[in-house]
Amino acid sequence: MSDFTPSEMMTIAAARALSNDDVCFVGIGAPSAACNLARLTHAPDITLIYESGTIGTAPDVLPLSIGDGELCDTALTTVSVPEMFRYWLQGGRITVGFLGGAQIDRFGNLNTTVVGDYNTPKVRLPGGGGAPEIAISSDEVFITMKQSLRGFVDKLDFVTSFGHGAGPDDRANAGITTKGPTRLITDLAVWRPDPATREFTVTSLHPGVSRRDIEDTVGWTPKFADSVEETPAPTSEELTVLRDIHARTRAAHTGT
């Protein structure tokens, strides 16, 4: 099976980043697809947690919201939202927080609040929700989003969730002890922070993607690792499982 979309490659590459032992705080949208694909392929025992309070959930279809009944029905247990944020996230029990965003900069700082000025925004985005504390209380953060000039910007209009600030000491200076964003998985590449500068650097290009494609879709001059690998193409199993869950999800959400 060689035909796949960039979006499928993104979800599959993101799923591969998760392991069976992870306790993952799942954001909605692209992160949710990746986390459930991991659960249905190589990481059957991964613990998926949604901020609605569902712990160890195993949905048959992807939830449209973070609190669909499917999540509660299939969870090991469901706790209140204050408990979720206090005991489970702030308590340090999450290994991976999986986030998306509207805007990202080269240090993995995210904006989901406003485009333009805060008080007179061009676009009023939803806001941070759980992300500001997911970004500081999870052991590490994976980010998945599609590359575009609108989304990958030189300077964020608003910092909703903290990544690496502007360099290697900024998390510590802000009183944050966790690792922060360690992987950025896009529709074109896998990026990791440079060990010295913490700037996200392309470490793996998806099949058929050129360096030029990367340069054309980010609002800064992107850095590439000394040795850039090619992301292994999706396997037949990965594609089949992903397409099946998307088909079940579409049918469930449109009521057909």
Residues that bind other proteins (CB under 8 A): 28-29, 51-54, 63-69, 71-72, 78, 80-82, 84-86, 89-90, 113, 118-119, 121-133, 136-137, 158-162, 165, 170-171, 174-176, 252-255
Q: Which residues contact 151 (CB under 8 A, 6 or more apart)?
A: 101, 102, 103, 104, 145
CB nearer to other proteins: give 119 or 227.
119
CB of 108 to other proteins, least distance (A): 11
What does the alpha-carbon distance between residue 7 and residue 243 come to, in Å, rounded to a whole number?
Answer: 12
CB nearer to other proteins: give 23 or 79.
79
CB of 20 to other proteins, least distance (A): 26
CB nearer to other proteins: give 91 or 207.
91
CB of 197 to other proteins, least distance (A): 17
Burial classification of residue 223, based on how many CB atoms lie within 10 Å of its CB (0-12 exposed, 13-18 middle, 19 or more buried): middle
Sign of CA dihedral 193, 238, 6, 50: negative
CB nearer to other proteins: give 176 or 228.
176
Instruction: Report CA dihedral (182, 186, 191, 192) to the nearest 10 degrees.
Output: 0
CB of 35 to other proteins, least distance (A): 15
Q: Would you name the residues annotated as active-site residues?
A: 51
Which of 178, 38, 171 lies closest to 97 in space, CA to CA? 178
Sign of CA dihedral 161, 162, 163, 165: positive
Q: How many residues does the chain have?
A: 256
